[in-house]
Chain A
Amino acid sequence: LAKTTQPISMDSYEGQEVNITCSHNNIATNDYITWYQQFPSQGPRFIIQGYKTKVTNEVASLFIPADRKSSTLSLPRVSLSDTAVYYCLALSGGYNKLIFGAGTRLAVHP
């Protein structure tokens, strides 16, 4: 399983775009990049997943460059309710074992 590295914490303000970068230098060919969000005292929630290029859904966008050694989660116009821990994972095909890294604590301020 590829190891991922993310910033420990980030601060932002309401209405700003937030980009959280994740490094996964030893990502395998069949790994998917997956992001989960976790609010205090709740279970993690799936946000977005991608293999390469760009994926967008109603919550976020995920940018993965051609070499796939890093990825960026983009949250447009954050609000206070986006304050949470965001986990980046590289999931291998054929093996659905989630190994969570430390995650990024995002604090959104008024």
Chain B
Amino acid sequence: DTEVTQTPKHLVMGMTNKKSLKCEQHMGHRAMYWYKQKAKKPPELMFVYSYEKLSINESVPSRFSPECPNSSLLNLHLHALQPEDSALYLCASSQREQGAGQETQYFGPGTRLLVL
């Protein structure tokens, strides 16, 4: 099973709402990632978790709050977002974070977020 699943597929939220994006993998991977992708732009790294600990935070605003409850799950909690945060949010996982440049990241289908 080389699948990363993400829920929900689509999400519409107001600027005062609190919502969460969920990501799950059962490949035994110990590194998980959140990316943000705007239309016709490449994915941009937001966070990296390695062995359930936050390893990289790419200076993401605090209205995005990641959480890794266990090695298979990754959440992204959203609060007080702005319309410019509307984007496709992608989750990915890999066997490990550190190591040779041969690590392959497996991406989920993404959550399409619209902030009104």
Contacts and interface: CB of A to CB of B under 8 A. Distances in A.
Nearest to A30: B101
Interface of B: 4, 31, 33, 42-45, 48, 56, 88, 90-92, 94, 96-110, 112
Given A42-B109, A43-B92, A92 B4 contact: no
A94 B56 contact: no
Nearest to B43: A100
The range of chain A's interface size is 20 to 34
Interface of A: 30-32, 34, 41-46, 49, 87, 90-103
Contacts of B4: 43
A49 B42 contact: no
Secondary structure at chain A's binding surface: helix, strand, loop or mixed? Answer: loop
A102 B100 contact: no
A91 B103 contact: yes
Contacts of B110: 41-43
Contacts of B33: 98
Contact of A43 (B42, B48, B100, B109): B109
Contact of A32 (B45, B88, B94, B101): B101
